[in-house]
Amino acid sequence: MITHPTTPDTALWVHAHPRPGSFNDLLFREGTRALAPRWTVTTSDLYGQGFDPVSRASDLGDLADTPGNFAEQAGTAYERGQLPAEVQAEQAKLAAAELLVLQFPLWWYGPPAILKGWFDRVLTAGFAFGEMDPDLGVPRRYGDGPLAGRRALVVVTAGEDARSIGPRGISGDLESLLFPLTHGVLWYVGIDTLDLHVVHDADALKADDVEREVARLRSRLAGVGTEEPRRYRRLRDGDYQGTRALHADLLPDRTDLGIHLAADR
């Protein structure tokens, strides 16, 4: 089965904010500096490097003009070494990394489009998903796959306070809003996620607040190597066997997204 061995103590920090000199830019610079004594840090400053987030037929190599399933054809282009050079470069950085940091401002209750495009183009079939487990007869997804064994820290700045974007907030619970990222993207390809690192009221921070948040991020990163990830249920463990819905006898009275956390969490 395909796996991508990591390079020990290597981290990839993916930054998605368009403005140099912004608060997010400060977190990016201070965060990568804080990791440097313990980790070999590579970066993807998506706006700074002009990463193209748009999937195009030109991503498909020899299959660019061939009708068919785009995702499957991107997987074939990966296998043939025909993905665009910028995509191959991002895949190489991710393949080497033990730790993935995704940092972005919350825009329209999700990541900026450029980060979504990074997922679309970099997490291709073949590289990030696509195989079946020959013993279990299930896809190597949701806790398994070529990228399993990595951990991710999501660093997000939000303009709202903790209550308005909390479990009873008018904007919805941030954990639920980012479930498509933490579970639907990262866990789907086998990457464990750590608890979110959230900066609330990011639009109203004064100088002392900025210093406090930088220090809080440094403190978090100092121990990131020993943090326990959140434990989602793995597809291979049978809780969804025969369907893609959680078995009816598991937490039968609940329909919230928390049902997908393992029972020991």
Least confident of 48-62, 176-190, 238-252: 238-252
Q: What is the mean pLDDT of the chain?
A: 93
Classify residue 184 by its DSSP letter. Answer: I
CA distance 158 to 213: 13
pLDDT digits (tens, 9 = 90+) for 126-166: 999 988 788 777 888 999 999 999 999 999 999 988 899 98
User: Residue 116: which of 14, 4, 32, 12 has the closest Cα?
Assistant: 14
pTM, full prediction: 0.94
pLDDT given at position 132: 78
CA distance 246 to 240: 5
CA distance 13 to 197: 14
pLDDT given at position 1: 66
Sorting pLDDT into bands at 50, 70 and 90, what band is 265?
very low
CATH topology for the 10-260 domain: Rossmann fold (3.40.50)
DSSP, collapsed to helix, strand or coil, labels residue 53 as coil
Alpha carbon 94 to its chain centroid, in Å, reads 11
Question: Does the structure show a pLDDT above 60 at 206?
Answer: yes
pLDDT given at position 242: 72
Q: Which pairs count as long-range contacts for 122-126, CB under 8 Å and 24+ apart, including other chains? A: 122/87, 122/90, 122/91, 122/94, 123/185, 123/189, 124/71, 124/74, 124/75, 124/77, 124/78, 124/83, 124/87, 124/91, 125/71, 125/72, 125/74, 125/75, 125/78, 126/2, 126/75, 126/76, 126/78, 126/79
pLDDT digits (tens, 9 = 90+) for 80-100: 999 999 999 999 999 999 999
Q: In whole angstroms, how far apart are CA 71 and each of 55, 75, 133, 231, 258?
A: 10, 6, 20, 28, 29
DSSP, collapsed to helix, strand or coil, labels residue 65 as coil
